Amino acid sequence: MSWLLDNNQLSPFIFARSILYKLSNKDLLLALIVIIVWGLNFVVIKVGVADVPPFLLAGLRFLLVVFPLAFFLKAPKIPLKIYLLYGLAISFGQFSFLFTAIASGMPSGLASLVLQSQAFFTLIFSAFLLNESWHKFQLMGLGLGAAGLILIGSSHGVSMPLLGFLLTICASVLWALGNIVSRQLAKYPNTDLFAFVVWAGFIPTLMFFASSFLIDGPTKITQVITHLNWLTIGSILYLAWAATLFGYGVWTSLMSRYPANKIAPFTLLVPVVGLLSGFIIFNETLQTIHFVGCAILMIGLITNVFGPSIWLWLKSRF
């Protein structure tokens, strides 16, 4: 145990602490649970869109987010603009694209990885909108991530339609914008963030049902709702209560208390769960170029969040 007390080199203990960016044990545990919940989220979406149109599925999801909790939770005193921007970006915008992508044939496991490009878009938006600084490892990670996405996108075909890939990229952009909006909640330190997520759900609920009415029509909506099976109902409940209320409640709290360019990259573990669950449940397989692109994208994400700590550790050892 003497290496823990050696001040002349960066010990593995200090290295690990630097990676976690001073997250408390509680926040770290919550983040890991969210990762698992969100990783399984993609196969659940695939189950849902098999029987329910994307916009209707999303509308039912957020309806259960809002009701009945809105009757028991007081709306936080936050400017309406923040409610609108959060609801439009991280809720309506992200899931409009993601649900439609998976419904159009995007593999759930691959979607879980491509969506993590939100970390890179968050870096870009945080630099230009929040004046948060970049370091060289974030730029390296951004370049590697872009290269990985280009490889994945270039191999579109039957196993991964181009439309599904592009829609997933759009979803990641909207998630990143939602991250920026979440940072504005730091200006209201006493806000009940769980109540905020619930009340912000009114906006996507209305927009999803309105979109479904226009796209699917009342006849289709009635037919689908009256023929829901237990598996589909379970997927809706999971999406509403686990992925949204728990997942985004915790995520919004973390994003409001830590720099956006430090918290967002922790979602790089989500695709590990997503890819494994997609393979186990749906037997989803990838082409060789997909694996190469996924590996490069993951290296970019790792470089982005772990780069400085790894570099310091290597310098201390060699």
Q: pLDDT value at position 157?
A: 61
Q: pLDDT value at position 285?
A: 76
Rounded distance between C-alpha atoms, residue 196 and residue 182, angstroms: 11
Question: What is the model's pTM?
Answer: 0.82
What average pLDDT does the chain have? 84
Q: pLDDT value at position 14?
A: 41
Q: What is the per-residue pLDDT across 74-99, written as a single tens digit (0 to 9) for each? A: 999 999 999 999 999 999 999 999 99
Q: pLDDT value at position 306?
A: 73
Q: pLDDT value at position 45?
A: 97
Q: pLDDT value at position 260?
A: 61
Measuring CA to CA, which residue among 103, 261, 83 is closest to residue 188?
83
Q: Which two tokens stand for residue 178?
A: 């939602």
Instruction: Summarize the confidence of residues 52-70 as an average pLDDT.
Output: 95
Report which of residues 115 and 135 the model is more confident about: 115
Rounded to the nearest 5 degrees, what angle is found at the Cα of 68, between the Cα atoms of 65 and 70? 75
Q: What is the per-residue pLDDT across 19-53, written as a single tens digit (0 to 9) for each? A: 455 667 788 788 888 988 989 999 999 999 999 99
Those residues whose C-beta lies under 8 Å from the C-beta of residue 146, and which sit 6 or more positions away, are: 120, 300
Q: pLDDT value at position 12?
A: 40
